[in-house]
């Protein structure tokens, strides 16, 4: 059974999956948010195909730890997801995960264009890896 990591944004959703032992996170893909119904179908398919047993999603708290409008939007999305899949969904503090993803890609020497296409799935992998490491 695998664990899925999600980085949920207004335009894109980054997806990462753990290995079957739940030790390592790997970026999987980015879904463009075109419509909630289509996104739910995409996620259901990935969950079924990859035998996902838990979803860890990044909760973008404010720097002082409070829940702002973006975090509320993520919580609403997760409630919608819970209506279509019967899997534990665990919020995980994602403060600065996109910044960490950007820095990792800069260190790897990726062009701005490639970084823009990959940042969401790398952020999802970072969120998931931090969770995996904490267990």
Place of tokens 């995996």: 132
- CA dist 51 and 30 (Å) reads 19
Class at the top of the CATH hierarchy for domain 2-134: alpha beta
pLDDT (0 to 100) of residue 41: 94
- The two three-digit tokens of residue 64, written as one number: 């002082």
- Which residue, among 41, 59, 44, 47, has the nearest Cα to 131 in the 3D structure? 59
Q: What is the pLDDT of residues 53-103, one digit of tens each?
A: 999 999 988 778 788 888 899 999 999 999 999 999 999 887 655 666 666
Q: Average pLDDT of 22-51?
A: 94
Work out the average pLDDT over 99-112: 66
pTM (predicted TM-score): 0.86
Cα 120 to Cα 20, 87, 103: the distances in Å are 22, 22, 13
């Amino acid at each position: 059974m695998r664990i899925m990591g999600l980085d949920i944004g207004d335009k894109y959703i980054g997806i990462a999956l753990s290995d079957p032992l739940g030790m390592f996170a790997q970026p999987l893909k980015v879904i463009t948010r075109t419509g909630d119904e289509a996104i739910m179908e995409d996620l259901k398919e990935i969950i079924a195909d990859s035998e996902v047993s838990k979803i860890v999603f990044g909760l973008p708290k404010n720097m002082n730890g409070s829940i702002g409008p973006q975090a509320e939007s993520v919580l609403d999305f997760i409630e919608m997801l819970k209506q279509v899949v019967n899997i534990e969904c665990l919020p995980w503090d994602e403060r600065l995960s996109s910044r960490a993803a950007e820095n990792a890609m800069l260190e790897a020497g990726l062009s701005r264009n490639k970084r823009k296409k990959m940042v969401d799935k790398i952020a999802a992998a970072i969120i998931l890896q931090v969770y995996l490491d904490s267990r």
